[in-house]
Amino acid sequence: MTEQEQIKEAFEDLLKSLRKDTPKEGIQQIKKAFEFADEAHKGVRRRSGEPYIMHPLAVAKIATKEIGLGTTSVVAALLHDVVEDTDYTVEDIANLFGAKVASIVDGLTKISGVMGSDTSQQAESFRKMILTLADDVRVILIKIADRLHNMRTLASMPEHKQVKIASETLYIYAPLAHRMGLHAIKTELEDLSMKYEHPEEYQVIAKKIEAYKNQFSSLFEEFIKPIRGKLGDNGYEYTITARTKSVYSVWLKMQRRNISFDEIYDLLAVRIVFKPKEGIPEKQQCWNIYALITDLYSPKPERIRDWVSVPKANGYEALHLTVMGPEGQWFEVQIRSERMDEVAEKGLAAHWKYKGEGESSELDKWLANIKEVLDQPDATALEFLDEFKLNLFTKEIRVFTPKGYMRTLPKGATALDFAYDIHSEVGDTCIGAKVNHKLVPMSYKLSSGDQVEILTSDKQKPQREWLDFVVTAKARTHINAAFKKERKEMMRNGINTYEAVVKKLGMPPTSEPLNKALKHYGLINRDDLYVEIGKHNITPEDLEKALKKRSENKFIKYWNLQFLWNGKDSDEKKKGAASQVVDDSDFSIAPCCNPIPGDDVVGMKIAGTKVVVHKRSCPEAIRLMASFGDKIVPIKWVSHKLMSFLAIIKITGLDAPGMVCEITGLIAKEEKVTMRLIHFEARDGIFEGTIHLYVHNTSDLSRILSRISALKGVESVMRVESDEK
């Protein structure tokens, strides 16, 4: 097949994917957009080698088939890279395709100009992307379609780009797809990200899920046979499908709960999608089907999820229950109408298609809330991204005002979050609350169903400690805004004091004394140093002593890392030819994940001149890679001599006399390993222990873990990041 035939086939495939209600004029407009984009991108190829036009065609198909968007969005998707990659302007698009298409293309161009760049801060670009919500939410939906196609074709990118794009996708785009109600796309983005970030774990879990599916296919048929009978007898038209949890969701559950694959009991879910009977509310029909199923199988009461009475904020509606199957196996059953299923899979577009005139949803309220957060001009980009992220992927609670109006808040929200949700002024002047008519402090965590009355005082103003317990972006943004002015004043004073001390000591006005001060006080950011000086937490005398102190280079004797390349994006770098062995004056070990030689690591060079070394799986590293894609420094361990590194292991098992002696005795026999701290607790015949060890590398640690796990009575032994409960 020639390239031209390939392109023609892809375009015809797009036309077949269009919504059935697409008018003839719409199809003509789409053909015109395709011909225009094809001509504009002629001769250009993607990294995979295929003609560039195949990418806009794929994005347009995702937009219509998987998200359910209409003509305007398909036209905009076809044209989304034209302004960025060719000589055509937004004005040209407006003249040819109208103002609305031009506005969407302009929004997508502004995002791509920064999101695709290696040289700009990713967080700032994300802020700009969210600003486009104020204009047209279709910009975000097409951008998600664009990212999905890029993730599907990520194999053709070099490894360091794969890691950067996968981190960004997991941190920003998957939660955004979730919030827009695009469940299927969110799941695929998560799985694809994991495939590139943790390829080995991905393959292992994927194989186990496939084996599980094969093992339980006959059990599934046995389980649904009586359900089919009941639904048929009661006149329901329906489809029943089985789905397993996604690879990423299984992996995440294993990580969060420190459990094995075999301990995840809700791997299999049964989905019933029914055609509603006329004249009976869908909600009532969901509960009718629930009753039919519980006549057959015993439900687990605490696992009922009723999202038909109160839908999720992203529009999701369904009734979930977990029942005991015929052979002692738990099955999750999801009950949805055809409309609910379309909203669940296609999200926002389907949600608005079904929404009545003038009807306001939780999703509309969320969008309005985001626009209010954006009105704070002082928020830094990364701070905004973190706050926004907080409210993207969270579970929700429903609480009520004294007059009975319902508000949706993230799980863990406090009375103060509720106050800010009502109005920023109510939050700023909050002194406490009454929850269910009982007086509580503003830090009180709310539960679904609580009725909340906020108490205020004109004399109150935001306090810094409020940030320790609020969880919503709106509350944090308003509280932070109150301290921005004060911080700026402190920084101004701090800069003046710092410069005066440097001048007094006759030091050069370079980054060298600044880095020395940052290292001495354990700070990463120069602004934090200036604030500490401005607050007089660091006096001029202290600063003088710190700058005069001789620096010690104590780690260079023990171990080295290698930067896999150095300098800019050169041909040499692409070949992996340029590399450089570095000592500890070039990097520092991240305290958040405490990597040791042998761990899979990544470097981040964000502030100052040092590269901070993180474990690749560290949540903070994932956050930073997503926000500062251009600051990733690929590195690997090269050599290490007899220097010990701290590793923490956690052990659980059946308590028996002499168990602690047996474990510590086994470790004591290891020549290269020493113990720093031992803590064991036993309760009801079960013991839990934490041991801090000094090891040389991961092979030392692996050997100890396997030997301890072989001891009789030991249930699990694993390395943990910290020994916090």
Backbone angles phi, psi at 52, to 5 degrees: -60, -35
Backbone angles phi, psi at 536, to 5 degrees: 70, 15
Which one, of 515, 521, 522, 528, lies nearest residue 542 by Cα? 521
Structure tokens given for 503? 């001048």
Which one, of 641, 654, 634, 637, lies nearest residue 716 by Cα? 654
DSSP codes joined into one string, 331-346? EEEEEEEHHHHHHHHH
The three-class DSSP label of residue 397 is strand
- Helical spans, DSSP H, in 234-347: 247-257, 282-296, 338-346
Q: In angstroms, rounded to a whole number, what is the distance separating the alpha carbons of residues 575 and 586?
A: 23
Instruction: Tell me how far CA of residue 526 lies from CA of 35, 90, 504, 513, in angstroms.
Output: 52, 40, 20, 11
Q: In angstroms, rounded to a whole number, what is the distance separating the alpha carbons of residues 76 and 690?
A: 57
CB contact at 8 A, 288 and 231: no
Extract the runs of DSSP E, i.e. beta strands, from 593-709. Answer: 601-604, 611-615, 632-633, 635-640, 645-654, 674-683, 686-695
Which residues face 562 on adjacent strands?
Answer: 581, 636
13, 21, 81, 84: the active-site residue: 84
Longest alpha-carbon distance in the chain: 92
Structure tokens given for 205? 């879990």
50, 85, 124, 345: the active-site residue: 85
Annotated active-site residue 620? The verdict is no
Which residues face 636 on adjacent strands?
Answer: 562
Annotated active-site residue 85? The verdict is yes
- Residue 596: which residues within 8 A CB-CB, separation 6 or more? 645, 646, 647, 695, 697, 698, 701
Using the CB atoms, write b or e for 146-178: b if 16+ within 10 Å. Answer: bbbbbbebbeebeebbbbbbbbbbbbbbbbbbb
Q: In angstroms, rounded to a whole number, what is the distance separating the alpha carbons of residues 144 and 150?
A: 10
- Helical spans, DSSP H, in 505-608: 511-521, 526-534, 540-548, 571-575
Identity (one letter) of the amino acid at 591? P
Instruction: Tell me how far CA of residue 380 lies from CA of 108, 383, 417, 464, 612, in angstroms.
Output: 22, 5, 21, 18, 22
Q: Which residue bears the tokens 């990580």? A: 255
CB contact at 8 A, 46 and 34: no
Q: In angstroms, rounded to a whole number, what is the distance separating the alpha carbons of residues 608 and 623?
A: 19
Which one, of 39, 34, 40, 112, lies nearest residue 77 by Cα? 34
Which of the residues are catalytic?
A: 84-85
